[in-house]
Amino acid sequence: MEYVLGNEWEISPAGGATGDAYFAQYNERKLFLKRNSSPFLAVLSAEGIVPKLVWTKRLENGDVITAQHWLNGEELKPSDMNNQHVAELLHKIHHSQELLNMLKRLGKQPLEPEDILFELKQSLSAFAHLVETPEIQQAIARLEEDLEHIKYDNKVVCHCDINHNNWLLTESKQLYLIDWDGAMIADPAIDIGMLLYWYIKEEDWVEWLNRYGIEASEDLFRRMKWYVTSQTIMQIIWYTSKNSDKEIKHWLQYLHHLLIND
């Protein structure tokens, strides 16, 4: 990254799964750099959903480097997810025609429940012991049974990983949702379900949905649970691939909880 900015910049890795993100600082100037971000980043920046995009540079090898303002702030805590601003920003994202148009131009196809179920089965096939796990078998059967009841045509841009550590609150109280690599055109129940199930007490769901801007309904709750169940299985598969026994146990227990509270 030094040859992009110059030797006077202090550059350090920003972590992340890909290793393609960096922090850069020169005196009081601070930037967040990333290699080969999606062109989607420009629209997210223009919409005020991620920190402002400062510049984009294409290198001779074809790589594209983007620089965003590096802002002082902190990740939201799990208890912060019931904040009014979280509901408002998620509503803005799900109702942005600009974001939707850009993902369509980038060739994203709408994600259907059938696609998710197919991917789940494909991923599970690599782990025979998971396929034989009673909770997994029961959950897959439940997903298959409910498939025809969760059709939803009004697809929107979904972040698909609204974990609390992807929300950034700056010192000036500006809220951003970052890490958009997994964004899809899909049922908004994917995002809403993850947020409500993982962070909000069930007795507060109706109030949260009102703040978001929709009414609670059995149809929405059915779709939310379907997607949360599938996401939970994906978590189990992920942590199995990493041999993380503690996390595997946690998510299997959570899956059991979902199944017995139907």
Predicted confidence at residue 194, as pLDDT, reads 97
Q: How confident is the model at residue 5 (pLDDT cuts 50, 70, 90)?
A: confident
Task: Provide the H-helix boundaries in 62-212.
Answer: 84-94, 97-105, 113-124, 128-131, 134-146, 189-199, 205-212
Q: What is the pLDDT of residues 110-137, one digit of tens each?
A: 999 999 999 999 999 999 999 999 999 9
How far apart are the C-alpha atoms of 187 and 97, rounded to whole Å?
A: 15
Predicted confidence at residue 260, as pLDDT, reads 93
Averaged over 81-91, what is the pLDDT?
A: 97
Superfamily of the domain at 76-260: Aminoglycoside phosphotransferase (APH), C-terminal lobe (3.90.1200.10)
Q: What is the pLDDT of residues 33-49, one digit of tens each?
A: 988 888 899 999 999 99
Residues catalogued as catalytic: 161
Q: What is the pLDDT of residues 137-171, one digit of tens each?
A: 999 999 999 999 999 999 999 999 999 999 999 99
2-70 carries CATH number 3.30.200.20:
yes
Predicted confidence at residue 72, as pLDDT, reads 85
β-bridge pairing 156-158 and 73-75: unpaired
Indicate where the chain has its CATH 3.90.1200.10 domain(s).
76-260
Chain centre distance of CA 25: 28
Answer whether 165's CB lies under 8 Å from 81's CB: no
Indicate where the chain has its CATH 3.30.200.20 domain(s).
2-70
Q: Which residues pair with 170 in a beta bridge?
A: 73
Q: What is the largest CA-CA distance in the chain?
A: 60
Average pLDDT, the chain: 93
Q: How confident is the model at residue 60 (pLDDT cuts 50, 70, 90)?
A: confident
